[in-house]
Amino acid sequence: MTEAPRVDTAQLLELLSVSLGVYYGDFTVAAASENLTASQGRALTALRRGPAAMRALAETMTCDASNMTGIIDRLEKRGLVRREAAPADRRVKNVILTAEGERVTDAIRAKMRITQEGLAGLRSDDRDALYTLLERIFLTPPTA
């Protein structure tokens, strides 16, 4: 006999929504402490994973390409990112995080007090389990 789930999908969605709200608020305050908008901070965070073409970055951030151009213009003016022509297609511009951009990204993460304290309070095995679950939910492509 199959045991009924203790937590249903609606409850998980609600808790995920609350969690992301807290995380986003924490992130927004930390980004503002570095004189960045939340969108600028998100762009830096996305680039922490590696260089990205402008269009791919806009898709990652789910924003219009013209909006992405404005965000990158402001970050470039502050020396946090630079643009380079893609080796395979010189018409495509890749955005690359500078050393100062890396420092600011690290500073934002370090200032996310609520998130840092919450994660630090987890036991090592809980942290491992959370990582595995988040990876499975959000990074593993669904099988057909």
d(CA 49, CA 101) in angstroms, rounded, equals: 12
d(CA 131, CA 108) in angstroms, rounded, equals: 21
pLDDT > 70? residue 5: no
pLDDT > 80? residue 79: yes
Mean pLDDT, the chain, integer: 92
Mean pLDDT of 85-99: 88
Mean pLDDT of 14-34: 96
- Whole-prediction pTM value? 0.85
Residue 74, exposed/middle/buried by CB under 10 A (0-12, 13-18, 19+)? middle
d(CA 81, CA 106) in angstroms, rounded, equals: 14
Q: Are 79 and 40 in contact (CB under 8 A)?
A: no
- pLDDT for the residue 94: 92
pLDDT > 90? residue 93: no
Mean pLDDT of 81-102: 91
- pLDDT for the residue 1: 60
- pLDDT for the residue 92: 83
pLDDT digits (tens, 9 = 90+) for 110-136: 999 999 999 999 999 999 999 999 999
pLDDT > 90? residue 87: no
